[in-house]
């Protein structure tokens, strides 16, 4: 069945989409026509406006690959989407879009929400154009011209007489959204207050963006990214990723080196937030790329800030991440093929884990041990850390953007059962 397009008028707050159909089209499909209704609402949310859409399938058959696009009202700015797991969202600079795989028969889906900044404009004057299309047993599409999002009814579109008559016959009566349930008096929720406080601080991403060809331990294969669904062909975007667990900024669990110790899924949640201690040896590394962080470097930090706090996450700042994503620069091989990059000394790590009782450590390089040191002691430093049944993070970045003391770090990672390692998202909140 070919797609059909219509121009419909829209009522304030509630929009009911109509489609131009030939006489008898509803009966020919064995169900209600038009099959799709959309209700919209614009609600103040602090300094922003939340734009909500609710889709309603009034027919007896499922609508699939439903796409709804709304133009951004003139003079406003897109802010963000509300997090939802049943739709794909998109913003191309002018249109806000939602793609839903299926709107079941006689069911509603939503709200689909986006936040916009009115930039001081009167919300009652904001206008938007709407477009919708869908597939299934009753495929169709439609366009609704510029229509006010709130206030009185919009001016009807000037269309051909035959189309107008069809609209007058086919458009169902608009119904308002249900009234909101009265809110209870504000309660006291300290953790919510803490979130507001934290969001007033600067967030620093300590994670490298990864792709094929990035720096990695030379014994690991390159990653493969494959697109298995495309917007134009399939109505959605999905990829398949094939990569080793130790890829990009990643978490090494104890089991990476020691059989029987904890795997990725066994890392406790309370180990994923910690005071962040940054030991800055960037100048020493600049002078000597084979430098190994020592106990004296830690004591120098403690002379400034006091003892490393118990339960801290300690990061070695070398500024090696400024070489990202150049894999050759990361290995830094000499004419003989010997790599040169910094690392930790075992004594420094013993001081942190045994005396200061830290919960984890990390660095900007792909190895814990300095490259030249590996010629004599192998992976002694990495083996030590993981042997204490603690995790470490490799290939960190942006440590030059956080203070040496006073910040907090969050280490987030997926939960593969029995995982030997996995890419992580690590970030800091700074004072």
Q: Quick check: 10 and 38 in contact, CB under 8 A? A: no
Of 256, 340, 363, 390, the active-site residue reads 256
Q: What is the DSSP letter of 207?
A: B
> How far is 355 from 193, CA to CA, in rounded Å?
35
CB half-sphere exposure, 166, CA atoms < 13 A: 20
C-alpha dist (Å) from residue 401 to 208, 227, 431: 14, 34, 12
Q: Where are the extended beta strands (E) located within 236-388?
A: 238-242, 250-252, 273-280, 292-293, 313-317, 343-344, 360-363
- β pairing state of 88-91 and 95-103: antiparallel
> How far is 125 from 150, CA to CA, in rounded Å?
7
256 catalytic? Reply is yes
C-alpha dist (Å) from residue 87 to 53, 55, 287, 374: 12, 12, 52, 49
The H-or-E segment that residue 163 falls in is helix 161-170
In 200-326, which ranges are continuous DSSP H helix?
A: 231-234, 282-287, 295-305
Q: Quick check: 58 and 108 in contact, CB under 8 A? A: no
Any idea which residue has 């900044």 for tokens? Answer: 117
> How far is 292 from 315, CA to CA, in rounded Å?
13
> How far is 39 from 55, CA to CA, in rounded Å?
7
> Which tokens go with 264?
């990725």
* Residues with active-site annotation: 256
């Amino acid at each position: 069945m070919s797609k059909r397009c219509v121009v419909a008028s829209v009522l304030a707050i509630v929009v009911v989409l109509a489609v131009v159909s030939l006489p008898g089209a509803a009966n020919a499909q064995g169900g209600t026509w038009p099959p799709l209704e959309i209700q919209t609402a614009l609600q103040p949310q602090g300094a922003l406006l939340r734009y909500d859409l609710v889709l309603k399938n009034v027919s007896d058959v499922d609508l699939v690959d439903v796409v709804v696009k709304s133009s951004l009202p003139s003079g406003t700015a897109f802010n963000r989407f509300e997090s939802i797991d049943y739709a794909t969202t998109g913003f191309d600079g002018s249109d806000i879009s939602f793609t839903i795989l299926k709107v079941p028969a006689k069911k509603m889906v939503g709200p689909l929400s986006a936040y916009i900044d009115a930039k001081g404009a009167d919300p009652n004057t904001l206008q938007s154009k709407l477009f919708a299309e869908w597939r299934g047993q009753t495929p169709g599409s439609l366009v609704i011209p510029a229509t006010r999002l709130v206030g009185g009814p919009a001016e009807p579109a000037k269309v051909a007489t035959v189309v107008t008559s069809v609209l007058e016959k086919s458009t169902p009566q608009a119904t308002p959204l249900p009234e909101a349930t009265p809110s209870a008096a504000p309660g006291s929720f300290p953790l919510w207050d803490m979130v507001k406080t934290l969001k007033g601080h600067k967030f620093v991403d300590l994670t490298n963006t990864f792709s094929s060809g990035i720096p990695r331990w030379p014994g690991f294969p390159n990653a493969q990214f494959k697109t298995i669904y495309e917007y134009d062909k399939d109505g959605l975007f999905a990829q398949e990723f094939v990569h080793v667990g130790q890829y990009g900024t990643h978490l090494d669990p104890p089991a990476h080196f020691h059989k029987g110790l904890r795997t990725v899924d066994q890392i406790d949640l309370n180990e994923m937030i910690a005071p962040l201690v940054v030991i800055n040896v960037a100048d020493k590394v600049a002078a000597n790329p084979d430098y190994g962080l020592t106990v004296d470097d830690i004591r120098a930090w403690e002379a400034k800030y006091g003892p490393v706090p118990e339960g801290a996450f300690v990061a070695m700042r070398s500024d090696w991440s400024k070489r990202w994503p150049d894999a050759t620069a990361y290995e830094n091989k000499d004419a003989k093929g010997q790599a040169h990059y910094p690392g930790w000394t075992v004594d420094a790590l013993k001081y942190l884990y045994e005396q200061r009782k830290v919960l984890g450590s990390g660095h900007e390089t792909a190895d814990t041990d300095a490259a030249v040191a590996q010629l004599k002691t192998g992976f002694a430093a990495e083996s030590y850390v993981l042997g204490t049944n603690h995790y470490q993070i490799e290939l960190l970045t942006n440590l030059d953007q956080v203070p040496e003391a006073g910040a907090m770090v969050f280490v987030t990672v997926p939960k593969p059962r029995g995982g030997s390692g996995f890419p992580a998202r690590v970030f800091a909140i700074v004072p």
